[in-house]
Structure 1
Amino acid sequence: MTCELSPAPGGPAAPRTAALRPRLPSPVAELRDERFARRGLRLLLKRDDLIHPELPGNKWRKLEPNLRAADPARHTLLTFGGAYSNHLRATAAAGRLLGFATVGVVRGEELADRPLNASLSRCAADGMRLRFVDRATYRRKNEPEVLAELTRTAGAGGECFVVPEGGSNAAAVHGCTELGRELRGVADVVGVACGTGGTLAGLAAGLGQGQRTIGFPVLKGGFLGAEIERLQREAFGERRGAWELDERFHCGGYARTGPELDAFAEDFAARHGLAPERVYVAKMLYGLTTLALEGAFAPGTTVAAVVTG
């Protein structure tokens, strides 16, 4: 199997991606939350989770531009993720909807001997072949020789079309600029959860003058700022937009929670009738609420929270 990297922005369009039928722009809803209101703040939810039932939010925005240059008649989509990866699920769903064969390289060789969790079961049900690799190999997945071996042993025919982990590359960043454009003039501050950084990179670039973005990493490590800058320079040639990261709310790492986050999510659901997804959305909402309580936003500020899934 030969390997072809996903495209740079501006590649050939493929009308077949219209079969994904997104709901755009995604709706904005105002929430009456007394923790914000008593400080003179408005809280909005940008419901990107409603774009598509199987490719919600940033997953649709990042995958669609990556798939424009792919051809289901000759390409197998190969991508990467952990055992609970929303990106793997979205890629598998896109493959089923658009007629692509798909391969998911999953971090954690030990998982191969266990029953599939609900997330990976959904991937398999959508036709994705799962290739489990040890964590050391996974960390080296972007090295040419490792990538060549992964594609050779992926177990699917045709050319391999590689979509990066989380779907984040220059094409995806350009896709996410539309999210920022949809929020121009709507909010002063926009909060978003960050995994691989592609959504924030595009969102910040798409916002208007005087608006800023706060990203809440869901992984620990402090590496994400440099990665977002790299993605923006790859996409635009420079850093774009006013953005910052608050690293306090990852709860110890990806897919990890804790008593404080659990209590916050349960309270948020009781207040608003919306149970926030715990891996990404709850951490972002917890971060924005904490900042509001700390007095980080001036009275009169409108805060928008991007609900990605």
Structure 2
Amino acid sequence: MKVLNQQVRLPILSEKKISLCIKREDTLHPFISGNKFRKLKYNLLHAKEIKATTLLTFGGAYSNHIAATAYAGKENGIKTVGVIRGEELVSKWQHNPTLAFAKENGMEFKFISREAYRQKNNSEFLTNLQLEFPNSFVLPEGGANDLAVKGCEEILTERDADFNVVCSAVGTGGTIAGIINSANKNQLVLGFPALKGDFLKEDICKFANNTNWELINSYNFGGYAKVTSELINFINSFKNETSIPLDPVYTGKMVYGILDLVRKNYFAPGTKIVAIHTGGLQGIKGMNSLLLKKKLPLINE
């Protein structure tokens, strides 16, 4: 499966003598795009091997993972259950584009309180869920487990060996762990977390075998799913100039950060960068409905 490395041509890159390509993992599949395709690949194979009849997983109202799991389940003939954070969504999910899409593709929902959701890794909580949904294979939030990391190790190929720097957005840490494991030792892997906090480093270390990586924590725009007018304007401007769409939660923040670092001379002249487009474009619709309520600019779809 060949994924295009799309060259970005912007004046700031020419001025600083930096090469930037976007690896268009978002084009892997129309509905299971980017890192979700990679993360689900071996988990689906394992679920079939153990003859599980249901995939059970976790996510919030606009989760890319929830949407992708629902479609992957339908495509592979396996039932899906989404444990969704927020009891208030019980009567509102029909108006949420991500959840409506998941339901259309056969996902059953279990809405729980935010307090209960914090127990999602608790063994007793998981045992009770498996009693409620027998013969289910449990995928963690965001899909990050050993099998997901194995899938993400396939993102980089021999064609990417010439790049000095590999950049990835970071959510739960599974994707970047796979990239770290498959990167050449002379490549630097930079992660751009979408969340605030230092806990991610520990999570990544559970799966990552190498040490040639760093996290850049300056571009989360206030935390997970938080956006500003500046970020939205950047995403729209970048798409107009390059034809590459970015999502507001992950890839938009990463590319904003990369170009800001270029401006600040973080990279030596001649550096070749590849940034992984991890998908997530399905979330734009839902984000726009929130931006509309906040009277903020909308993201061009």
Residue 139 of structure 1 corresponds to which residue in structure 2? 118
- Give the letter aligned to residue 81 of structure 1: G
1:13-24 pair list within 5 angstroms: 24=1
1:250 aligns with 2:216: no
Paired letter, 2:118: R
- Deviating 4+ runs (over 3 angstroms): 181-184
Alignment of 1:13-162 (within 5 A): 24-71=1-48, 74-116=52-94, 117-154=96-133, 158-162=134-138
- Check the 8 A contact 1:189/1:304 in 2, yes or no: yes
Check 1:226–1:105 CA distance in 2 against 1; reply closer, same or farther (3 A cut). same
The answer to whether residue 241 in structure 2 is matched with residue 271 in structure 1 is yes
How big is the alpha-carbon RMSD for the aligned residues of Structure 1 and Structure 2?
Answer: 1.5
One-letter code of the match for 1:60?
Answer: F
- 2:231 counterpart residue number: 261
- Equivalent position SS for 1:213: strand
Partners of 2:207 and 2:106 in 1: CA distance: 30
Q: Which amino acid aligns with 1:146?
A: F
Count of residues in correspondence between the two structures: 277
Q: What is the CA distance between 1:209 and its match in structure 2? A: 2.5
Task: Give 1:109 deviation, angstroms.
Answer: 1.6
**Which of 180, 195, 214 pairs up with 1:204?**
180
Q: TM-score, normalised by structure 1?
A: 0.86
Deviation at 1:151, TM superposition (A): 2.8
**Residues 275-284 or 197-206, more deviating:** 275-284
1:33, 1:43 within 8 Å by CA — same for their partners in 2? no
2:190 aligned with 1:214: yes
**Offset, 1:215:** 0.7
Once residues 198 and 183 of structure 1 are traced to their aligned partners in structure 2, the CA distance between those partners, rounded to angstroms, is 22
3-state SS of the aligned residue for 2:43?
A: helix
**Does the Cα contact within 8 Å between 1:63 and 1:167 map onto a contact in 2?**
yes
1:229 aligns with one of 202, 205, 229: 205
Tell whether the 8 Å contact from 2:93 to 2:99 is kept in structure 1 after alignment.
no
| Structure 1 stretches lacking a partner, 5+ long | 1-23, 233-238
| Alpha-carbon contact 1:181-1:208 (below 8 Å) kept | no
Sequence identity percentage = 42
Superposed displacement of residue 307, structure 1: 0.8
SS at match of 1:255: coil
| Shift in Å, 1:241 | 4.5
- Residue 5 of structure 1 corresponds to none
Partner SS for 1:78: strand
| One-letter amino acid of the structure 2 residue matched with residue 136 of structure 1 | E
Query: In the alignment, does 2:154 pair up with 1:178?
Result: yes
